[in-house]
Amino acid sequence: MFFSRKPLDLPTRETALPGRAMAIPTANTHFVNGRDLNAPVPEGLQEIVLALGCFWGAERVFWQAEGVYVTQVGYAGGYTPNPTYEEACSGKTGHTEVVRVVYDPKIISLDALLKLFWESHDPTQGMRQGNDVGTQYRSAIYTLNEADKAVVDASRNAYNRALIKAGRGEITTEIKPLDAFYPAEDYHQQYLAKNPAGYCGIGGTGVTCPMPGAHALD
């Protein structure tokens, strides 16, 4: 179910939907690898939250990557606490659809994850991704520490230069510290593993991200 109108302007804290104090029901285990979706991040692993359009296809990009421990879809970047999918799709929460990625930096670097992120969608499209239009489809990166923010900023600048050189537009990706991550409903988790023929709106620009550190670790 979708709301018929999707605003392209973000709400303010005052105009956003109120949400709820209780978390909405969600899955407890990853449908693909069986790991606990809600457990604390294991020691030695790291976490980042990424938005690159519809989270059904976006999540699969990362659970298939070697070195990614677990993925979980949800909502972030806005104001409404514990939103539902329908509320996020209304454009009145300020949230975008995101993938929480927990990974082992000994196997895959943050540079490598960011390369995958940049090359898997078009980060120049503002409040849309392909045919999916609305603030909930905007490109975004939400970081958990200052060191990661520096890596993200460097990658953004490098890829922006590559896109401009290729005749594309400027990157519009929102980059800021993570305020809160709200897991999405059970049926959205690992959606394309449960529904292999389901919708996937993910597609890149064809421009390579020229990051020298962007490789899986040996």
Q: Look at residue 109 and tell me if it is in a domain.
A: yes
Q: Which of 56-65, 91-100, 196-205 has the lowest mean pLDDT?
A: 196-205
Closest C-alpha among 180, 198, 186 to residue 54: 198
Q: Which residue has the tokens 């809600």?
A: 38
Q: Look at residue 35 and tell me if it is in a domain.
A: no
Which amino acids are annotated catalytic?
54
Q: Look at residue 34 and tell me if it is in a domain.
A: no
Q: Estimate the crossing angle of helix 146-165 against helix 110-119, to 10 degrees.
A: 40
Q: Look at residue 10 and tell me if it is in a domain.
A: no
Q: Which of 87-91, 128-132, 190-194, 212-216 has the lowest mean pLDDT?
A: 212-216
Given this model, what pLDDT does residue 7 score? 75
- Whether 214 has a pLDDT exceeding 60, the answer reads no
Given this model, what pLDDT does residue 176 score? 98
Confidence of residue 4 (pLDDT cuts 50, 70, 90): very low
Q: What is the three-class DSSP state of 184?
A: coil
What is the DSSP secondary structure assignment for residue 187, as one 8-state letter? G
Mean pLDDT of 63-91: 98
Contact 154/202 with Cβ under 8 angstroms? no
- Whether 1 has a pLDDT exceeding 90, the answer reads no
Number of domains comprising the chain: 1
Q: Look at residue 168 and tell me if it is in a domain.
A: yes
Kindly state the percentage of the chain with pLDDT values over 70.
Answer: 94
- Whether 108 has a pLDDT exceeding 70, the answer reads yes
pLDDT tens digits along 118-147: 999 999 999 999 999 999 999 999 999 999
Kindly state the percentage of the chain with pLDDT values over 90.
Answer: 91
DSSP string covering 106-175, please?
A: TTB-HHHHHHHHHHTS-TT-SSEETTEESGGG--EEEESSHHHHHHHHHHHHHHHHHHHHTT------EE
Mean pLDDT of 73-91: 98
Confidence of residue 56 (pLDDT cuts 50, 70, 90): very high
Determine the structural domain holding residue 69 and report its residue range: 46-194
Confidence of residue 201 (pLDDT cuts 50, 70, 90): confident
Three-point CA angle 180, 88, 63, nearest 5°: 65
Distance of CA 192 to the CA centre of its chain: 16
Q: Look at residue 185 and tell me if it is in a domain.
A: yes
List the beta bridge partners of residue 34. Answer: none
Q: What are phi and psi of 206, to 5 degrees?
A: 85, 0
Q: Look at residue 26 and tell me if it is in a domain.
A: no
Q: For position 59, which CATH number holds? A: 3.30.1060.10
Would residue 172 be called left, alpha or beta, if left means φ above 0 and alpha means ψ between -120 and 50 degrees? Answer: alpha
Q: Look at residue 183 and tell me if it is in a domain.
A: yes
Mean pLDDT of 169-173: 97
Contact 96/78 with Cβ under 8 angstroms? yes
List the beta bridge partners of residue 102. Answer: 47, 70
Contact 50/112 with Cβ under 8 angstroms? no
